[in-house]
Amino acid sequence: MLASILERSIVEFLRTGEQVPDPLAAYSSVDRTRPLGACWVMANMVGGLDGSAAVGGRVAELSTAPDAKLFVSMRTLADVVLVGAETVRRKGYGGFSLPEPRVAARTAAGKPAEPAFAVVTRSLDLDWSAVPFASPLGEKPVVITCEAADPGRMDRARELADVIVAGGNRVDPVEAMAQLALRGHHVVLCEGGPTWLGQLVATDQLDELCLTISPLMGGDPLPISVSPPGGHLVHLSLQHVLAEGGTLFLRYERQHDGQ
C-alpha cells in the first residue's frame, strides 16, 4: 500500500503531497499516553460516502483493499482490541495474525506478539464454542459485562475468559476503561460496533477516531456511531488525511481539557 498525504494549498484546496511507503507510520508516531495511566481509546471505523457502516449487514463489503491492509496493521498499536457483542456474533474473531514485521516491532517494544481481545456484552449471549473462547491464543480473552447479566452465562464466561463487571443494569464505559487500564491495557482499539462506539463518545471516553471513507454509496441505513438518548456533541480535530486511490483515511482527536 502506497498512500499519499493530502496537504492544503494556499487557495485551500487539497493537493497530493509526498508518497507514504508505510501508512501506519503516520499513526504509530502519535503519543497515546494519558495522565495517571488512564486508557487512550481509539476507534477504527469504515463508512461509505453516504455515512453507511455496512452493506447487507457486512462491514467487509465497504472495505477497499488499502483499508483492509491498514485495518489489520492498526492492531499493532493496541494493547487490546475491543468489539461489541453483535460484531462478534456477525463476524467472529480469531487470532489477529499480524504480519511478521508488525509482530517483530511489538516484541522489540516489550509487548505481546498480538494485542489482547475483548468483547463488551450486557447479555453474555455469545457462542462459547467459537474462537477465541474455545481455543484462545496467548492470554485469555476479556469479556466486559454488567451485574445484570445472566448468572449461568456469567459462570460460563468466567471459565473461558477474564471477566470484567462494569456497571449495574448496563455496561458502564467509564468503569470498563478503568478496569482495562488496571490490567495494563492502556491503548484500547475499538473496532465496532456503532452502538458501543456511540456509548464511548457519549461518556467522553473516545480519544481518537480513525475513519476510512470508501468511495461507495447505497449501503445499509446504519451510521458508524449510534448516539444514545441524551448524548451530547463531541468536537474532534482533524490531524491528518491519507489517500490511496479513491479511499480516504482520516484521523481525528478529541481535545481534552487544557489542550
Instruction: For 212-230, write each residue's pLDDT tens digit.
Output: 999 999 999 999 999 999 8
Please report the pLDDT score of residue 93 as a whole number: 73
Q: What is the mean pLDDT of residues 149-169?
A: 96
Cβ proximity of 81 and 96 under 8 Å: yes
If pLDDT is split at 50, 70 and 90, which confidence band does 135 have? low
Instruction: Give the mean model confidence (pLDDT) for residues 6-28.
Output: 74
In this prediction, residues 100-129 reach a mean pLDDT of 93
Does 1 or 239 have the greater pLDDT score?
239
Cell numbers for 153, please give them: 452465562
pLDDT in tens, 184-219: 999 999 998 899 999 999 999 999 999 999 999 999
Q: Which residue has the higher pLDDT, 131 or 153?
A: 153
Q: What is the pLDDT of residue 58?
A: 85
Q: What is the pLDDT of residues 43-102, one digit of tens each?
A: 999 999 999 999 988 888 899 999 999 999 999 999 999 999 988 887 777 667 789 999
All three cell numbers of 217, joined, read 454509496
Q: Sketch out the chain's domains with CATH numbers.
A: 44-228+235-247 (3.40.430.10)
Confidence check: pLDDT of 178 > 60: yes
pTM to 2 decimal places: 0.91
User: What rounded mean pLDDT belongs to the chain?
Assistant: 89
Mean pLDDT of 220-248: 93
Cα dihedral: 214, 210, 124, 111 (round 10)? 130
pLDDT band (50, 70, 90) for residue 152: very high
